[in-house]
Amino acid sequence: MGKVLTDVVCRTATSNDRPLRKIADGGGLFLWVYANGNKSFRFRYKFHGKEKSLTIGTYPGVTLLAARRKTLEAAEKLAEGIDPSAAKKLASIERKIESLNTFELVAWEWYEKQVASWAPSHGTDVRRRIQTNIIPFIGDRPIAQITGPELLAMISKMEKRGAFDLAHRVLGVCGQIFRYGIATGRCAFDLSAALKGALTPHTAKNQNAIRPQRVPILMQSIAKYHLTGDYKTQLGLQLLAHTFLRTTELLAGEWSEIDFDRNIWSIPAERMKANQDHLVPMSKQVIQIMVELKKLSGLSKYILPGRNIMVPVSNNTLLFALYRMGYKGKMTGHGFRSVASTILNESGFKSDVIEKQLAHTEKNKVRRAYNRAEYWPERQVMMQWWSDYLEAAEKRERLDCFHGRGIKRGAARGGYGTLRISKGGR
């Protein structure tokens, strides 16, 4: 039987006042015309002796040509022993599952499970990388259908603008999301692993820091900063040098964290990069700085308030102060940590004690659970030693008695000996 339907017939057909009119096209395809003017294509067939009907689509959204093509596809499934209606339902279910397993949805599910264990600043960084560098490119794609070239194209956009470090970090985030997808049954492969060799190699650049030999000049410059700059900024730099906290950890410090009776600064986990409580033994010099800052902070809850006492001073305040002293490209707030680590290690202090005071994250998960006050007596001695060292540097006193075998022998005996600071020399 030849084809009956044409585009003109489909467009002008009416139900002739009947509730439903069925116009056959051949091969099991029908145009159903309803009294209200709606029209749809249907495929009529038999499966295991039972008559069934498969909706192809509504006209004119689905054209006659498209309806015939879909009818042929359904007939081919039927010839293979597959029920076209069941196949359509299964495809619909799969599409629904895929819509719930887009990379974006899996990414945010992974993020919500992880963010509680991160420091707030790290959580913000990861969220920004997902929102800005991932979602616009592959967010709406089912995670199981994303291809290697597709992922590489996304990463390459970052490399083209010179953001090589960011490209590596974003790929790392993608890898964690893919691995979470594997664990939850949403995908089978971590595509990021195969792409690592395709990225432009990048070596992380350390924060600028002066050499230990330049510490006296730096501390002397800071001690005179009030002559040309703000006294509170000078005290902030001195506090950063003596405690070698991360700049963000220091600037958000609140007076409620300071215990002058026990000489301890207790920083809560939510303000630490490693998301663990951290204790800072306050040396005599740090206490003196704190007393001065208390006078200047007024009614603010912050140790270093900004012009608006309701918020802490900005990171740029300390950084630009270093710039004004001639240390642009030579020293940063983070550089104080590097300098302290170098000098303390060279002076015979145990690396575990230094790492604990630096609040570095322990890679070993078992050891990571150690008490926040671990090595506390050694840390108290070390932090007082460090403040004495900086004070001697600031006052142009000899530093050689702080270094070498005298300290190491004292350490071997379980202590760090008595420090003798003699006048004269540098």
Among the options 39, 68, 186, 334, which is catalytic?
Answer: 334
Q: Does the active-site annotation cover 370?
A: yes
β-bridge partners, 254: 302
Q: Does the active-site annotation cover 360?
A: yes
DSSP class per residue in 286-318: HHHHHHHHHHHHTT-SBSSB-SSTTSBPPHHHH
CA angle 61/65/67 to nearest 5° reads 65
Among the options 337, 356, 375, 389, which is catalytic?
Answer: 337
Pick the closest to residue 140 from 99, 189, 93 (CA basis): 99
Question: How far out from the chain centre does Cα 285 lie?
Answer: 36
Please check whether residue 197 is in contact with residue 163, taking contact to mean a CB–CB distance below 8 angstroms.
no
Total residue length of the chain: 426
Among the options 214, 273, 301, 403, which is catalytic?
Answer: 273
Q: Does the active-site annotation cover 48?
A: no
Among the options 242, 246, 278, 379, which is catalytic?
Answer: 246
Running DSSP on this structure, what letter comes out for residue 254? Answer: B
Q: What is the 3-state secondary structure (H, E, C) of 71-98?
A: HHHHHHHHHCCCCHHHHHHHHHHHHHHH
Among the options 52, 370, 398, 403, which is catalytic?
Answer: 370
Pick the closest to residue 332 from 250, 394, 241 (CA basis): 241
> Mapping DSSP to helix (H, G, I), strand (E, B) and coil, where does residue 342 land?
helix
Among the options 69, 96, 328, 360, which is catalytic?
Answer: 360
Catalytic residues: 246, 273, 334, 337, 360, 370
